[in-house]
Structure 1
């Protein structure tokens, strides 16, 4: 088995989310009251559907970016709650196995439940390791698998379609084609009713073209009109080339973060040994073997898999807040709520990480 160090990782070192220590701030619970208020300000943050389908602003490109960011924030909120519950649960089970009095698990004001429970277990294990006895944990690192289909769907959402108006504006007029709601002044592939500058297959009683025009039609066109439309183009196409908008880097970054945050990770197979007095440490070894994989998986997820993505979401949120001029109140409310969610959820996972590390460090994780 490989020995993998998670103790050296501080996923928030130097980052904006690193606003409290392991004992601070009532972290956990996926944002608590702030998460609830964010959901009220922006229902897409708390609803069961995908925020990618949200209608935040009439600006298509910005709407896509906001949707991807709100979804990533929503995924992070869910992860923070799950990590807190898993780590707190594992430490409470170990505390029960080791006979830690329940009163020691009650968090003080402003201290997270995970911090109180894990610190109590860490102290109990530390007391059991007398005379220089140490523990050593060897394991194969967890494997995390992202949902490739969900990531592709999100990135596809970032590829904003070229609108008909943009096609008309960007295409060389001589290469435009489509249905013409008005007067076609070009080649008509269907029935031309009007003047045909060329050969007309059928003419009406007044001598005007009422059939296929082999030339240029000046009038209505029942099918595709090419080159010129005096009126509104419907389903316009460019026979040349219109460059569609590129996939926005920040939108894609939110998709990548969401994919990593929601990735499913395996629990490691663990080999735990004591340098001496293994018999005296039987209870400690037994409960660690049962519960330490939960802590290792959580630390790996937070410290190795998503640490950079948390910082990315902080950056993307700040960038979006500077792009909201004229975007409307819904966009402002949802970006503001999502930015707050990222901040509170990041603090929560940081607290959970440090609480877990207080136990895994005593167990010899990190070598």
Structure 2
């Protein structure tokens, strides 16, 4: 054999060995099984993990290191995968060489040769730390939910006590103006609590349909004020989604504006209409309009006084919390327009 032929033969032998070397040096545990599910190959990473010789792992010997509680589940997944000749993924605990049980994620894919099913090849990665981190996060979230629920319960109870106290003081007030102011404050606390209660029942990172929430808020406000002859006319665009943190101040704004309209826009028992409009005037922009067909704002109603409208002083602050612009018009009736960014 000439030197050139010898070099070519050695190169061919190295090329044939290269796939096996790649499998052994792969940073994941790799196995192969025939159609009968008996394992015919495990790579060096698998052997390093278990600390056992290849002879002990081949065939069905690897099952000896499988956690007893996971064996039935693994057996079922394997049977279904091999029967259907479809990929499958399963996690289970495998005993490491030091005796520790470690969670691994096993991903298996079918092998075919000339269109004939010849078994499966699988790869496993250790996911123990990831599972522990997720479990710790779930535990922390559960504890946080318990604390938030307790806080919400206490705040709600305190708000109810405050409402009762204000109502009691209103019944004892000698001045009609002071009594009206106290009853108004009691209603304001109660309505704000209703809004917060609905929002609390929604996950913090969830998106809510703003139109549905604002309609419920407006109707609750009218029901509490209980002024006969005042109707709610709402027209909201569906599917305008918003995070709870931004939707809450907008709902509180609607609450204040509707209560203000019901109390001040229709004096002497006159009826009228409060209109709620929600739409997208442009992509990424939401517009909220609350208007009435009443008498408009009088000068006394612009002041923060027992006769005035405290709500109109709260609305600009709530608008800033919602990152919304506010325009208030009060000629023929009162019209409040808010614009804000939305998805």
- Tell me, yes or no, whether TM beats 0.5: no
* Greater share of residues in strand: 2
**TM-score where L is the length of structure 2:** 0.24
Q: Bigger relative contact order, structure 1 or 2, given CA contacts below 8 A and separation 6+? A: 1
Structure with the greater alpha carbon radius of gyration: 2
